[in-house]
Amino acid sequence: MTLTDTSPLSPIQQRTLGLLRRGDEAVVFDQAFIASLRIEIEEAFEGFAERLADETVFMSKHRVASVLGCEVQHMLDDQFEWSPAVAGGQVAHRAIQLLLNWRGDPVPADVVDEAIGRLADDDTSLGEWIAGLSEADRADLTGFAVEKLIKFQECFPPLDKRASPATESSVRWPIDGPIVLSGKVDLTLGRATGAESRKVIIDLKTGWVSPKHRDDLRFYALVETLRTQVPPRKLASFYLDAGEPVVEDVTEAVLRSAARRLLDALNAEIELRVEGRAPVKRPGTSCRWCPLSAECGEGTAYLNQRALVDV
């Protein structure tokens, strides 16, 4: 990580810098391992393609987690609707993107206003939702995003172009075919130099720590490895509300675990969507927002048990 100036850093910024900074020893993965991992996945994709017929499967971190969770919930029709909390996260991410490339020392509220204006002009469902907000609802949305942007500034030291910061960075592999892996990374720092791993992949989070967040980042690490043949060196879920990251070094074991999880998810997706296997109920944290929770005995029992534990 590289700073834009020599201004004193706060303790939390110093800690972030220390956790994400490269060490003295270069991280270089065995190219034979990378080649074998890619061949393993390509061969698995060929086998899955034979079962897909004319179907196409797009796998994101959310879809992998969903199909490996409660399959009954996974098979429900998509009932997504924008809410202030979900939209606020998107606005905050766009504001961070603007902040990293904004000259001078902008006021957070001004950056958020610009982010909201740009999103409202986009021809997307989010743009349409924002354009239809009342002034009061827009003010609530602005306040949420400003809070997250300020917390980001508190947690991260100022960065300049030498750190190669990129936000909302899209990743995809392969370029086409019946199975495509895709995602959008909140923040990346650094870039590979030759075969040396220098990139850090960061997810910006609010709320509680979840093992799913680690798995999401491992999915991104796997896609990055397949795409560039140079793995990232480090993964971090950064919890802005707590001001703390959960950091993991990328290793061969991490990448193999991510590959196994991806292939398990693909197999389940094909069994359910193409081959007609009956979905399995798996109660978990997603029961809290499942539309079937009121009529699902297993989900109700799980939520009641969690309520007793949380007391």
Find how far residue 100's CA is from the centre of its chain: 19
CA–CA separation, 222 and 10 (whole Å): 33
Which tokens is 60 given? 């994101």
Number of helices and strands (H, E) in the chain?
A: 11, 6
Q: Does the domain at residues 1-280 carry the CATH identifier 3.90.320?
A: yes
CA–CA separation, 15 and 156 (whole Å): 9
For the full predicted model, state whether its pTM sits above 0.85: yes
Give 5's contacts (C-beta < 8 A, 6+ positions apart).
Answer: 158
- The answer to whether residues 88 and 241 touch, using CB atoms and an 8 Å cutoff, is no
Domain ranges of the chain: 1-280, 283-311
Reduced to 3 states, what is the DSSP secondary structure of residue 6? coil
Q: Give pLDDT tens digits along the chain (311 positions).
A: 555 545 689 999 999 988 888 878 899 999 999 999 999 999 999 999 999 988 999 999 999 999 999 999 999 877 778 888 789 889 999 999 999 889 888 999 999 999 999 999 999 999 999 999 999 999 999 999 999 999 999 999 988 778 889 988 999 999 999 999 999 999 999 999 999 999 999 999 887 888 899 999 999 999 999 999 999 999 999 999 999 899 999 999 999 999 999 999 999 999 999 999 999 999 988 888 888 888 898 888 888 887 766 65
